[in-house]
Chain A
Amino acid sequence: MSANNARVNAGGIRNTKESSEWDLVLTRVFDAPRELVFRAWTETSHVAQWWGPKGFTNPVCEMDLRAGGKLRIHMRAPDGVVYPMTGVFEEIVAPERLVFVSSALDGDGKSMFDVLNTVSFAEQRGRTELTLRARVINATAQAPQYLKGMQAGWTQSLDRLGEHLASVR
């Protein structure tokens, strides 16, 4: 395989000093003021409404919003499977920056992977540009399988929704 191919297969994203194809960098502009978007990320009553893929609910959503404070979210997939995660806040600069480590837990409550997440909120004339950078600090052998299973959970639920909509039409 040529070196060029290897590079494309590694993710095909530009490799810069701050980021590379081995980190996740996501940017999204939300049509809401920065204060509101920041609150939506840091108040549990809000977070529980949107965290996780479509169709998921969050029966447990707790946050101790201070540096060193813990967070705990149990995501419930549409098929009933619960995916618990915990985390620790590293940095909170309202309303611009939120840094936290998130850990997905297995059945015994052991972490399967730890990810350092840095979320920045930039004001854009009433809108908010949000950037999420995620870097894996630790991952066990089950980690890819876990995410794959979770994804299957939500893709299936979307398929079911599609079928349902088709049947009522």
Chain B
Amino acid sequence: MMNDRLSETFGALADPTRRAILGRLASGEASVTELAGPFAMSMPAISKHLKVLERAGLIARGREAQWRPCRLQAGPLRDVAAWVEHYRRFWEESFDRLDDYLRELKREDARNKNLKTKVKESKHVRKQRKG
């Protein structure tokens, strides 16, 4: 099941090197040597990252013995995108309510201030009358 991998997918995405590798693969397949190019990292270290990505189903590797190009697999990324979209809606809704609530607070605040000024004014008037 796609969903069972979600945690693994998020785990794989948590690392900046792996994110960068996926970013590179988004513009087309590449060999391990090509992928290792921009990183100051040993080939075994890069291979380790690729294994994590492969296990999470985020990339697939060609079967050609020599070259074995890496390719991006869109399936799990779509699951992640769907999840993020659900979470985004939750917050959008909350922000709408926060917006309304803040307006309400400001209105109340203005009313209270108004009231205070009126009280002050009436005291002032009373003082004047006394005087």
Contact = CB atoms under 8 A, between A and B. Distances in A.
B is bound to A: yes
Given A22-B80, A36-B105, A52 B86 contact: no
> Interface on chain A toward B: helix, strand, loop, or mixed SS?
mixed
Interface residues of B, number: 47
Nearest to B4: A141
B86 A10 contact: no
Contacts, number: 144
Interface string A17-42: 00011111010101110001100100
B117 interface: no
> Interface on chain B toward A: helix, strand, loop, or mixed SS?
helix
Contacts of A22: 10, 13, 19, 77, 80-81, 84
A160 to B, nearest CB: 16
Nearest to B1: A141
Interface residues of A, number: 49
Interface stretch (B37-45, B92-100, B119-127): B92-100
Interface string B20-49: 000101111100000000000000000000
Contact of A50 (B29, B87, B88, B94): B94
Can you list the 10 inter-chain pairs with the closest CB atoms, starting with the nearest? Answer: A53-B93, A147-B86, A50-B97, A6-B74, A10-B77, A32-B102, A11-B81, A7-B26, A50-B98, A136-B10
Interface of B: 1, 3-4, 6-7, 10-11, 13-14, 19, 23, 25-29, 72-74, 77-84, 86-103, 105-106
7 contacts: A6-B77, A9-B74, A10-B26, A52-B90, A53-B93, A137-B14, A147-B87
